[in-house]
Amino acid sequence: MNRTVIAIAALLLIALAPLACKQSAADKAKEAMEKGDFTAAIQWYMDALKANPQDKASRTGLSDARLRYAKQFAIDAVRGQHNNAVDWERLLEHLEQEGDNVKMELLDAYYTIAEMYRKAGEKDKAFQVLLKALARDPSRRIPLGKINDLIKGAKDGAWGRGAFETLWKQADTDTEICTKYAAYLGSIDLHAEAIDQYQKCLALNPGDFTYTNDIRMEIVTLEKRRKARAEKNASQPGAMTGGGE
């Protein structure tokens, strides 16, 4: 009898073993969340969704895991961790998948990594990151301001002009971008090109008196500078004409 019982028990254990051992990816994700291991939780939830893309619980769990990961990441960063761009790029990979669910966290990450690149002298990378921030922020004010500061701070006229041209091509109906671009051209003494850009700005919003009046005043100022530059060059035989005139 004992041998029969043992044999049956053994068979039951064999039969039930796969069920006992085969813990689902979603269950593993939940365990990781409880332990505060959000990186592991993200991976397990992704595995669960790979097996079943329609699993709404895992989709919700993944979003929650990414949000908690971002919040913990921010706390750790304040404590002096994550001082390299690689860590932040990894964070961005997760946040960019969630979009509006983590918009503030995503924008903060963009600004932080852009500043890291700027300090490292990698202005192209900083610019590209800020372009992503611009695309994610409907208000556009903060990322535009940071792009403007980056271009001015680079003190590289050719690079700054190219950066603004890229920005303008992506949003050639944006009045703020238009005027910032024109102002920058004027600041590097490309008076004729600045005037031309301001003319494009006038065409964007002809019905706004305050806007158009301010631009016309800028154009008058630039015309005076252009004239003064031409007169100065004319009084100096052999001097090369500057300022893109």
Burial of 159 (0-12, 13-18, 19+ CB in 10 A): middle
pLDDT at 80: 86
**CATH architecture, domain defined by 160-237:** Alpha Horseshoe (1.25)
Residue pLDDT, tens place only, 61-103: 999 999 899 889 888 888 888 888 889 988 988 888 887 778 8
pLDDT at 242: 46
Confidence check: pLDDT of 107 > 50: yes
Residue pLDDT, tens place only, 3-22: 665 555 555 555 544 444 56
Do the domains 160-237 and 82-155 match in fold? yes
| Average pLDDT, rounded, for the chain | 87
Q: What is the CA radius of gyration of the chain?
A: 29
Q: Which amino acid is at 81?
A: Q
Burial of 106 (0-12, 13-18, 19+ CB in 10 A): buried
pTM for the model stands at 0.76
Residue in 124, 127, 132, 86 with CA at minimum distance from that of residue 108: 132
- Domain at 82-155, CATH class: mainly alpha
Give domain limits for the chain: 25-81, 82-155, 160-237
Residue pLDDT, tens place only, 191-218: 999 999 999 999 998 889 999 999 999 9
For the chain, what percent of residues have pLDDT higher than 90?
59
